[in-house]
Structure 1
Amino acid sequence: MSWVERYGPWALVLGASEGTGREFARQLATEGIPSVLIARREAPLEQLKAEIARDYGVECISAAVDLALGDALERIVAVVGDREVGLLICNAGGDPNGKPFLDVQLAAWLELIQRNVVTTLAVCHHFARSMRVRGRGGILLVNSGACYGGAATMGPYSGSKAFMLGFAEGLWADLQPHGVDVLTLVLGRTDTPEFRRFLADKGMDMPADVWSAEAVARLGLERLPHGPIHNVGQADDQPGMSPQSAAERRARVVAVSRVTAQLYGTGN
């Protein structure tokens, strides 16, 4: 199938205002797929819409939605309307805090969990149901190397990314028999405006081994049919971020899924 046949006619991109989210929307437009662009800030979304229309002749729509609020799903569903979403990209979910757990107000951590975990779970549940019925589609969850373990100042953030890792693997196993692709793309250091702001705040220079947002988005779309996980900068059979390679984790998911299928009679 062509890209439009497999992942069209619309994509939904959460966290589309800058960085990798912006690049996902632009690269999908080259395949003729328009996006529903969602982020907190309206102005960058309007600018991105205009650029995509000018450069590719593709008309996107957008809405400013705070993914850390409890009504985010309802607002996103209202924006999408009756458009058929064949590709969901969850790109939002950074850590704006960067401090030890007890040095941050609880409300800020709860917002992070709402954005990174609850909203992600909710939008996948809503849009994957129609993908399963149609027998095609894709879900791409942008992750971080923090998913493989915690560290100082990263407890809630790494916990939320570990959830995404396990969730994506299970969702891939559930949806693969129904023709729906699922991938969590595990990023290392990526040249995004958010990363540049972090470096500026810390007085640090850009590291030499950083990936461009454009290259990361291209890789994510290329690897989407080969889920459930891909570590940016590593071959499928190469360990690095984790002692297990992506291929080894995939084999584990398949093996465990055979056991759970027998236990619960799912037939997957």
Structure 2
Amino acid sequence: MSFLEKYGPWALVVGGSEGIGEGYARKLAAQGFNLVLTARKPGPLNALADDLREAGTEVRVLSVDLSRPDALERTRTVTDDIEVGLLIYNAGANSVRGDLVELDPEVYRAVIAVNVLGQTEFARHYGGLMRERRRGGIILSGSSAGYMGAPSLAAYCASKAFSRIFSESLWIECEKYGVDVLHFCVGFTATPAMARLGYPLDAAQPADEAAQEALDNLANGPVWIAGGQRSVENAVNRSRVDDRAEAVRAFATPGRF
């Protein structure tokens, strides 16, 4: 069975306008998938969709804020009449950092809404439909930050840890239904979002390379850590249970304000 036969004919890429999301969209379009792309900013979303349509791909787009409680309901308005065989939840970046006790509550509420409630609700809805068909795939984006708490990133790190454990549970539940689930642990990646935050990206993994790595390993769940052996070793170091205080001080993502 080909990748398209197993996970097609439609793929829903949540957070599919730029960076890794754009990489997913272009690579899936090249394999013959029809696409539903959602993102908060309509400009990049529509530009990518127009480009893909010119090459012959059927594309639906929706501008949606995933931190809002109606995000799934709104997304369903463009998916309820099609067969989504692949869900890629590629959302959950963190743009505002600071000590939790000093943050505007709307900041950490949005992080939790996107990374915890959003992943859960989208996976439940589309995963349920895949279960009925006895085939499909789900990729949920995580982060190396999910292996350890870090200063100025409390809600973000915690939400990514939730995503990993949630994905592992979902993976073992869905295995008997023929539905593949992968928690894709994203490392330091060259995306427009990272550029906007001012990070130097010379040593970052290219976004389209990260997207290909996830697609190549969808059937190798429950967890895949992007970026090679060094990234795996970083996750192992962050997962130490002995001398936890020492480990957090040594390996946590540095605070940045």
**Under a length normalisation based on structure 2, what TM-score does the superposition of the two structures give?**
0.89
Aligned to 1:216: 210
Q: Find out whether 1:49 has 2:43 as its counterpart.
A: no
CA contact (8 A) 2:210 2:227 kept: no
Q: Matched residue pairs, number?
A: 239
CA contact (8 A) 2:148 2:238 kept: no
In 1, Cα distance between the equivalents of 2:4 and 2:218? 14
Listed one character per residue, the Cα deviations across residues 15-42 of structure 1 (whole Å, up to 9, x for unaligned) are: 1111101110110001100111011111
Letter in 1 for 2:183: T
Aligned to 2:160: 161
In 2, Cα distance between the equivalents of 1:100 and 1:205? 24
Letter in 2 for 1:105: D
In 2, Cα distance between the equivalents of 1:226 and 1:54? 33
Superposition pairs of residues 15-94 of structure 1, within 5 angstroms? 15-55=15-55, 57-94=56-93
Aligned to 1:233: 227
Letter in 2 for 1:123: F
Letter in 2 for 1:50: D
In 2, Cα distance between the equivalents of 1:126 and 1:240? 33
CA contact (8 A) 1:234 1:240 kept: no
In 1, Cα distance between the equivalents of 2:80 and 2:131? 19
CA contact (8 A) 1:147 1:162 kept: yes
CA contact (8 A) 2:36 2:61 kept: yes
Aligned to 1:97: 96
Listed one character per residue, the Cα deviations across residues 202-249 of structure 1 (whole Å, up to 9, x for unaligned) are: xx533x4310000000000000011111111235xx54322599xxxx
Aligned to 1:197: 196
Letter in 1 for 2:8: G
In 1, Cα distance between the equivalents of 2:217 and 2:238? 18
Letter in 2 for 1:67: L
Letter in 1 for 2:219: P
Listed one character per residue, the Cα deviations across residues 61-101 of structure 1 (whole Å, up to 9, x for unaligned) are: 00101000011111011121211000000001011212221
Listed one character per residue, the Cα deviations across residues 109-166 of structure 1 (whole Å, up to 9, x for unaligned) are: 1111111110110011001011011111000011110110101011000000000000
Q: Find out whether 1:9 has 2:3 as its counterpart.
A: no
Aligned to 1:251: none
Question: Structure 1 residue runs of 4+, over 4 Å off?
Answer: none
Aligned to 2:242: none
CA contact (8 A) 2:20 2:210 kept: yes
Letter in 2 for 1:117: V
Aligned to 2:252: none
Provide structure 2 residue ranges, at least 5 long, that are not aligned to the other structure. Answer: 240-257
Letter in 2 for 1:9: P
**Under a length normalisation based on structure 1, what TM-score does the superposition of the two structures give?**
0.85
In 1, Cα distance between the equivalents of 2:113 and 2:11? 22
In 2, Cα distance between the equivalents of 1:198 and 1:244? 24
Aligned to 1:111: 110
Q: CA RMSD in A?
A: 1.8
